[in-house]
């Protein structure tokens, strides 16, 4: 699991309708037969003695992700939050600094499919083709098989409250230091902050890290936004181990609101995965 005590990025939201369960068989799960693939893939066990720049590092010709678990790779590839995953074995999502359970990925993007959408955050990639290449890699190297189940459950809607919006359209100057296309960061130290964050990304953050159920964006707001909350988070708040109650008031400060209802809830169930084959 990713810690909430550092600047984090938002991870996926997946929705479907109705009480459905369907499985991928070996043929359909072999994504490399149907999906675009990286030109070259290097996947190696991480070393605990190396300082890493973690998260997605994306350039027009290359993708890198360091010290990542299989669960983290799945969430990025399929654009889903951690709470949707089930069927996880300990080695797939180890939090210990064990190189056997964490991997460094470096992949070359085929230029015949360029240009790519460079918008990304630490654990999210907006270009669907790059995510599909990751899906093919997971099928080839980890022999991943899975199925999805969808049923009715708790859903929260993110929408405008009718109060003045305090979200400021991003001018992107700050993002250049993070690399081309970096976006969608949410952090907090003494207050809640958004940096070039879209409303779907905010919804996925709330889903994955705060509410732990599906959050649907119905704000009608496009583009990326910056915001700094007046809510102050103290050292004592951090020591308590749960600062999420302090995040929700910041949503009201933004001019947004959260409304809980019932709707489709999806689960991503891992049927089989194996430690990766060698390069």
- Please give the Cα distance from 262 to 273 (Å, whole number): 32
Which stretches of 109-207 are DSSP H helices? Answer: 128-141, 199-205
Sheet with 185-188, edge to edge strand ranges: 8-9, 185-188, 192-197, 225-228, 168-169
Name the β-bridge partners of 42. Answer: 106
Q: Quickly tell me which residue has 């098989």 as its tokens.
A: 145
| Residues of the chain above pLDDT 90, percent | 50
- Which pair of structure tokens corresponds to residue 135? 């899906």
Q: pLDDT band at 248, cuts 50/70/90?
A: confident
Of residues 122 and 156, more confidently modeled: 156
Comparison of pLDDT for 173 and 143, the residue scoring more: 143
pLDDT reported for residue 35:
93
Report the pLDDT value the prediction gives residue 210, as an integer from 0 to 100: 82
- Write phi, then psi, for 90 (nearest 5 degrees): -55, -40
* pLDDT over threshold 60, residue 197: yes
Average pLDDT value for residue range 266-278: 91
Kindly report which listed range (81-85, 170-174, 180-184, 245-249) carries the lowest average pLDDT score: 180-184
Q: Give the integer Cα–Cα distance in Å for 166 and 254.
A: 5
Query: How far apart (Å, rounded) are the C-alpha atoms in residues 4 and 269?
Result: 24
pTM higher than 0.85: no
Question: Positive or negative CA dihedral for 8, 14, 19, 23?
Answer: negative
207-240 confidence digits (pLDDT tens): 887 888 999 999 999 988 999 887 776 667 666 6
- pLDDT tens, residue by residue, 15-42: 222 333 333 443 334 444 589 999 999 9
pLDDT in tens, 10-21: 323 222 223 333
**From 23-32, 238-247, 250-259, the region with the lowest mean pLDDT:** 23-32
Numbers of helices and strands, H then E, in the chain: 6, 16
Residue 116 confidence (pLDDT) above 60: yes
Using alpha carbons only, give the angle 153, 159, 160 rounded to the nearest 5 degrees: 160
Residue 63 pLDDT exceeds 90: yes
Average pLDDT estimate for 78-89: 92
């Amino acid at each position: 699991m990713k810690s909430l005590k550092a600047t984090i990025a938002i991870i996926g939201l997946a929705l479907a309708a109705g009480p459905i369960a369907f499985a991928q068989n070996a043929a359909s799960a072999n994504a490399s037969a149907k999906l675009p693939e990286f030109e070259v893939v290097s996947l190696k066990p991480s070393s605990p003695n190396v300082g890493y720049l973690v998260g997605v590092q994306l350039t027009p010709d290359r993708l890198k992700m360091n010290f990542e678990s299989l669960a983290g790779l799945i969430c990025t590839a399929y654009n889903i939050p951690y709470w949707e995953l089930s069927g996880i074995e300990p080695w797939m999502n180890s939090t210990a600094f064990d190189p056997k359970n964490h991997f460094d990925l470096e992949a070359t993007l085929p230029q015949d499919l360029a240009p790519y959408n460079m918008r990304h955050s630490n654990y999210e990639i907006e270009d669907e083709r790059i995510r599909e290449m990751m899906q093919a890699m997971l099928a080839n190297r980890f022999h991943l098989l899975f199925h999805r189940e969808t049923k009715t459950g708790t859903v929260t809607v993110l929408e405008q409250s009718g109060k003045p919006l305090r979200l400021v359209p991003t001018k992107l100057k700050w993002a250049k230091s993070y690399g081309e296309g970096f976006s969608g960061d949410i952090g907090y130290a003494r207050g809640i902050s958004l940096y070039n964050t879209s409303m779907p990304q905010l919804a996925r953050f709330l889903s994955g890290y705060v509410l732990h159920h599906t959050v649907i964006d119905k704000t009608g707001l496009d583009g990326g936004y910056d915001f700094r909350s007046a809510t102050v988070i103290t050292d004592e708040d951090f020591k308590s181990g749960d600062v999420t109650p302090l995040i929700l008031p910041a949503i009201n400060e933004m001019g947004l609101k959260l409304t809980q209802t019932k709707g489709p809830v999806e689960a991503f169930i891992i049927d089989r995965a194996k430690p990766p084959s060698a390069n």
